[in-house]
Amino acid sequence: MSNKPGGTAAVWLAAGLCLLGIARAFAADNPMPRPPQLERDVQFWIRVYTQIDTNSGFLHDQYNLGVVYDTLHFPPATPPAEREKLVEAARDRYGAALKRIADAGDAPLAADDQRIKDLWGAEGTPERLRAAVDDIRFQLGQSDRFRAGVIRSGAWETHIAATLANLGLPAELAVLPHVESSFNAAAYSKVGAAGLWQFMRSTGRRYMRIDGAVDDRLDPFRSTEAAAQLLAYNYSVLGTWPLALTAYNHGTAGVRHAKETLGTDDIVTIVRNYHGRTFGFASRNFYVSFLAALEIDRDPAKFFGDLPKEAEAHFQEVQLPAYVNMTALEHTLKIEGDRLRALNPALLETVWEGRQRIPRDYRLRLPADGQHWSSDLLAQRLGAHELFAGQRPPPRYRVQGGDTLAKVADRFGVSVHVLAQLNRLRTSAHLHAGRVLTLPESPPVPVAGVTALVAATTATPNAAPAAVPPGAAVREVAAAAPSPGGAVPEDVAQRESAEDAQAQLATITIHGHAGPQPVSAAQAEAIGPALGPAAEVQQSADPIDYSVAKDGAIHVAADETLGHYADWLGVSTESLRALNHLKASRPVLIGQRVRLDFRKVEREAFEQRRREYHRALQASYFASHRIVGTEVYVARPGDSLWTLTQHGAQLPMWLLQQYNPDVDLADLHAGVRLAMPRVELIGSGG
């Protein structure tokens, strides 16, 4: 737990989430401006959300959303492949029309061609119309999904409103789940985003418990609290709510780069004029789709008629006094498993199947109409023999003769990449019989026989391990404990960074080409629950730009050294010192500009290694810590970067830099205001 430093010169301002400059937005009359220049875009999304369902769609220009060429309607039973043919045929038809109109000049046009030309108005020059041929896009309707979301929202809207109000955040943020998941708390996207607020795993672990037993992203109450923190953080870095919301989709670093590139925080300028490599249709339209959802949510009856919302959820919570097996808990509570599951969606299948224990301090949700439970009462009723000090270790597998990494990965339903990263191996590594491999805590793909195999090896988790026969899974007796500084074993970081890399690869696979948009509800759900277009980049709260400038230089980020750069470049530190005229043994400072040598490694490879290093660093820390709030600290005489990181939970320098990306941390002086994240230790969970 973090503690405030002593000394009267240290000034702590506003506990909780009172971030730098945040009061400026809360005091504004309209924190969510609706610029008239974006009105046509907002109206487009209102039409998508209310006028056409997932059996229809708009054929439109992807840059000028006022140009909607046609509304396509599909019979409900039309297969997706047939729908795609109809969309492509319409795309070709309107592309040909645009070419005809561009070539016609001032000559008379057929009625339908004239209608298309009129859609463009003065903007429809021959050059613009020819360019528009490649910009024809299909947008599936969403009215049925939005309508269902309005009904579902009743269960959580009170908690969402209270969470935002308690933190002083704009009430308008409560409609974001309409855009992200249609208020589906069980939503899970193909690239790994989950829950009501669609957190990626790496971002969610900053604020929630996500491990082999618990995934708080699937808990609408815990994830709401986390989303409020992330949005407040985005605002503290970017300064406006339109940009903070855009960063929820595009990533904090990406929006910060757009702001710096154009020299403005004006959302209209950025949406219209920023052309970053990954700033595509989804990023450009995230804020306007939010504004559309906001208008609809304020008066849903205007668009859908009277809708009966789900009743608000009522329950009691009890904090678990120790690690507990679910079977013992069900027996003690005398509550049906189905009721417990419904109230505790964050508990993973590993817990319900007995392969993992419910963690200590987990806030178990129980029916409000039953006996009142407290942590002490639960401990008394369970008994000492049913209370455990730690979690069950992750599953292990002893290699047999003839095994390959691919065979083991296939047997346990994991990817070769994840298995190799988890065990610090190359994907082409040769396996020797007898080696013990660590398996992911929760295989992402169910495999027949794995459950029974793991259950058989965990029947007596506190007994000393016997000799392991070839082919059997094994478990270690003691879980790896965090070090005094809060670090966790390297395999945790390897696993987390590998899973993030897999999600990024999946994102590229889906969105890295100009393929067709979903044409059916099934296809839309397969890609993700978002009502708008799926994001082009992986969600990230890291605001640091790890790319190399055009002149081959970078700015030093926290926890980086010349030795890191030398390793990633395949050169010596001495050569880098000579290139940058640095004295021997003098360290580089955060923010310092360093030129790099790319004779042996390409820039893209260097950037990838640099990002992977920081992903692993952050994954390791957030495996055992989570952010629970933020405080503003005013630096006093004698403060340095090192002394600031020693407060309370010993903040890593990279986290302090992320919360203060525009502060020169290498040149601190008295009076500088810093955002200081408050963190708590939660254990590695495995």
Domains annotated for the chain, with CATH where assigned, are 55-140 (no CATH), 395-475 (3.10.350.10)
Separation CA 562–CA 192 (nearest Å): 34
What percent of the chain lies above the pLDDT cut of 70? 83
Residues 6 or more apart in contact with residue 288 via CB below 8 angstroms: 38, 41, 42, 44, 45, 271
Of 46-50, 393-397, 404-408, which one has max mean pLDDT? 46-50
Give the per-residue pLDDT at 4: 34
Give the per-residue pLDDT at 473: 32
Residue 495 — very low, low, confident or very high, per pLDDT cuts 50/70/90? very low
Residue 460 — very low, low, confident or very high, per pLDDT cuts 50/70/90? very low
Separation CA 420–CA 413 (nearest Å): 13
Give the per-residue pLDDT at 456: 29
Helix (H) or strand (E) holding 408: helix 405-411
CB 348 within 8 A of CB 215: yes
Average pLDDT, the chain: 84
The pLDDT of 240-268, averaged and rounded, is 96
Separation CA 419–CA 427 (nearest Å): 8
The pLDDT of 321-341, averaged and rounded, is 94
Amino acid at 333: L
**Any idea which of 25-29, 447-451, 493-497, 647-651 has the lowest mean pLDDT?**
447-451
**Any idea which of 96-105, 189-198, 607-616 has the lowest mean pLDDT?**
189-198
Give the per-residue pLDDT at 529: 67
The pLDDT of 390-414, averaged and rounded, is 90
pLDDT score of 686 more than 60: no
Inter-CA distances, 386 with 327, 334, 564, Å: 10, 16, 47
- The angle, 0 to 180 degrees and rounded to 10, between the axes of the packed helices 326-333 and 375-382 is 100
Residue 536 — very low, low, confident or very high, per pLDDT cuts 50/70/90? low
Look up tokens 């008239």; give the residue. 36
Residues 6 or more apart in contact with residue 187 via CB below 8 angstroms: 180, 181, 194, 195, 196, 198, 528, 529
Residue 567 — very low, low, confident or very high, per pLDDT cuts 50/70/90? very high
The pLDDT of 501-528, averaged and rounded, is 57
Give the per-residue pLDDT at 442: 52
Give the per-residue pLDDT at 523: 83
Higher-scoring residue by pLDDT: 647, 671: 671
Give the per-residue pLDDT at 188: 87
What digits encode the pLDDT tens for the residues 613-633?
A: 999 999 989 988 999 989 899
* Token couple for 205: 């672990």
pLDDT score of 466 more than 80: no
Give the per-residue pLDDT at 10: 32
What digits encode the pLDDT tens for the residues 259-288?
A: 999 999 999 999 999 998 889 999 999 999
What digits encode the pLDDT tens for the residues 92-148?
A: 999 999 999 999 988 999 999 999 999 999 999 999 999 999 999 999 999 999 999
Separation CA 581–CA 47 (nearest Å): 60
Q: How far is CA 37 from the centre of its chain?
A: 30
What percent of the chain lies above the pLDDT cut of 90? 67
Higher-scoring residue by pLDDT: 384, 8: 384
Give the per-residue pLDDT at 668: 87
Half-sphere exposure of 440 (CA within 13 A, CB side): 26
pLDDT score of 219 more than 70: yes
Give the per-residue pLDDT at 530: 72
* Token couple for 634: 């005013």
pLDDT score of 435 more than 70: yes
pLDDT score of 682 more than 90: no
pLDDT score of 526 more than 80: no
Length of the chain: 686
CB 488 within 8 A of CB 480: yes
Please provide the DSSP assignment of 153-215 as one string.
GGGTHHHHHHHHHHTT--GGGGGHHHHHTTT-TT-B-TTS-BTTTTB-HHHHTTTS-BSSSBB
Residue 209 — very low, low, confident or very high, per pLDDT cuts 50/70/90? very high
Give the per-residue pLDDT at 643: 83
